């Protein structure tokens, strides 16, 4: 089993505020390399909530390298065809991308997997949160220390693969029935922050009954034609109502909730204060539960959603 696990801790609600990174390299199922460092973020304005979670303060990082200095030391982990794994990976990938953008560093290109999604697919009984899965497999660690979390992630990945009799991460990737592999930086969008500072901005709520086709003829070759679609989260490039109208005009059916009959779940940006620590809405959680039971629901982000719209020749 060869792969690399990573974990970030952040100073505040901005994704570019990484203040600690932990990295673990696994070869043949054992840890062969570990890396951990505090990071001097672009601002020392640490949020009290973040400090309460991980215990990292401005005092602890004031002599630490900035991300661009640290990148020279760690960039090899993200090259050489290494598979990167993180728990709730979209968060860590967003932090990584935000930090690279902050210092105008060229984006690496690598495959990554979310260990939370692995757990939901391979062994739903063990839970979703890193601490819950670790408890399930009898592993104790100090949660929200970047290195401890990266080691715990590596442990649960090997435990999950062993649980299913999969002898390598390569064989896991090649399993077409699982399909949890993503490629960085595609589909990783960096919002301004991952939690509102003052008031909660609830996603726009549109009743599916408000949406009706504006066309008489549909393109029956379009990938969304005659498919059932559900939306969750806030879209960045168009409103929820606009997106729903587009797919309705393509010939799709919009559903208000996730069920076995749903073909696609389109996931926008999630407000962590609304969805909780695992970063997923109840719709997304339900989709992955059904996927783990063998149902073929495709969970896609906004970027992939827009590409699929255009792939069918839609120009509305």
Mean pLDDT of 20-30: 94
pLDDT surpassing 50 at residue 199:
no
On the CB side of 102, CA atoms within 13 Å amount to 22
Alpha helices, H only, 208-315: 240-250, 272-275, 282-292, 302-311
What is the three-class DSSP state of 98?
A: helix
Q: What is the DSSP string of 258-272?
A: --TT--EEEE-B--H
Mean pLDDT check: name the lowest of 5-9, 71-75, 117-121. 117-121
For the chain, the domains span: 3-184, 208-311
Architecture of the domain made up of 208-311: 3-Layer(aba) Sandwich (3.40)
Q: Which two tokens stand for residue 187?
A: 């589909």
pLDDT surpassing 70 at residue 271:
no
Q: How far is CA 195 from the centre of its chain?
A: 16
Closest CA to 6 of 100, 75, 109: 75
Mean pLDDT check: name the lowest of 7-16, 60-69, 196-205, 217-226. 196-205
Fold designation for 3-184: Nucleotidyltransferase; domain 5 (3.30.420)
Model confidence, pTM: 0.66
The predicted-structure confidence for 92-107, as pLDDT tens digits, reads as follows 999 999 999 999 999 9
What is the three-class DSSP state of 104?
A: coil
Q: Which two tokens stand for residue 56?
A: 């990292």
DSSP letter (8 states) at residue 226: T
Pairing of strands 264-267, 228-232: parallel
Mean pLDDT check: name the lowest of 59-68, 91-100, 206-215. 206-215
Tell me what pLDDT residue 289 has: 84
pLDDT surpassing 50 at residue 197:
no
Mean pLDDT of 250-277: 82
27 band by pLDDT with thresholds 50, 70 and 90 = very high
Tell me what pLDDT residue 60 has: 96
Dihedrals phi, psi of 282, to nearest 5 degrees: -65, -30
The torsion defined by the Cα of 49, 151, 120 and 164, in degrees rounded to 10, comes to -170
Tell me what pLDDT residue 205 has: 61
pLDDT surpassing 80 at residue 149:
yes
User: d(Cα 298, Cα 89) in Å, to the nearest integer?
Assistant: 18
Q: Torsion-angle region of residue 294: left (phi > 0), alpha (psi -120 to 50) or beta?
A: left
């Amino acid at each position: 089993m060869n792969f690399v696990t990573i974990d970030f801790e952040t100073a505040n609600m901005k994704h570019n505020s990484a203040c600690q990174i932990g990295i673990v390299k696994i070869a043949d199922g054992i840890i062969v390399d570990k890396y951990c460092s505090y990071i001097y973020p672009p601002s020392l304005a640490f949020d009290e909530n973040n400090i309460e979670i991980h215990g990292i303060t401005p005092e602890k990082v004031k002599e630490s390298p900035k991300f661009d200095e640290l990148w020279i030391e760690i960039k090899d982990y993200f090259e050489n065809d290494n598979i990167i794994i993180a728990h709730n990976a979209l968060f860590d990938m967003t932090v990584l991308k935000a930090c690279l953008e902050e210092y105008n560093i060229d984006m690496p290109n690598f495959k990554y997997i979310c260990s939370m999604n692995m757990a939901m697919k391979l062994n739903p009984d063990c839970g979703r949160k890193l601490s819950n899965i670790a408890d399930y497999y009898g592993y104790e660690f100090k949660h929200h220390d970047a290195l401890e979390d990266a080691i715990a992630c590596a442990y649960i990945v090997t435990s999950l693969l062993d649980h299913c009799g999969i002898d390598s991460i390569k064989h896991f990737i090649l399993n077409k029935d699982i399909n949890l592999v993503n490629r960085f930086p595609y589909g990783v969008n960096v919002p301004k922050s991952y939690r509102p500072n003052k008031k909660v901005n609830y996603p726009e709520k549109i009743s599916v009954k408000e949406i009706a086709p504006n066309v008489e003829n549909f393109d029956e070759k379009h990938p969304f034609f005659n498919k059932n679609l559900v939306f969750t989260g806030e879209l960045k490039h168009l409103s929820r109502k606009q997106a729903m109208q587009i797919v309705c005009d393509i010939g799709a059916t919009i559903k208000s909730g996730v069920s076995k009959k749903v073909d696609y779940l389109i996931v926008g940006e999630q407000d962590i204060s609304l969805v909780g620590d695992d970063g997923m809405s109840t719709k997304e959680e339900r989709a992955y539960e059904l996927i783990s039971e063998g149902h073929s629901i495709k969970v896609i982000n906004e970027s992939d959603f827009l590409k699929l719209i255009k792939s069918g020749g839609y120009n509305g």
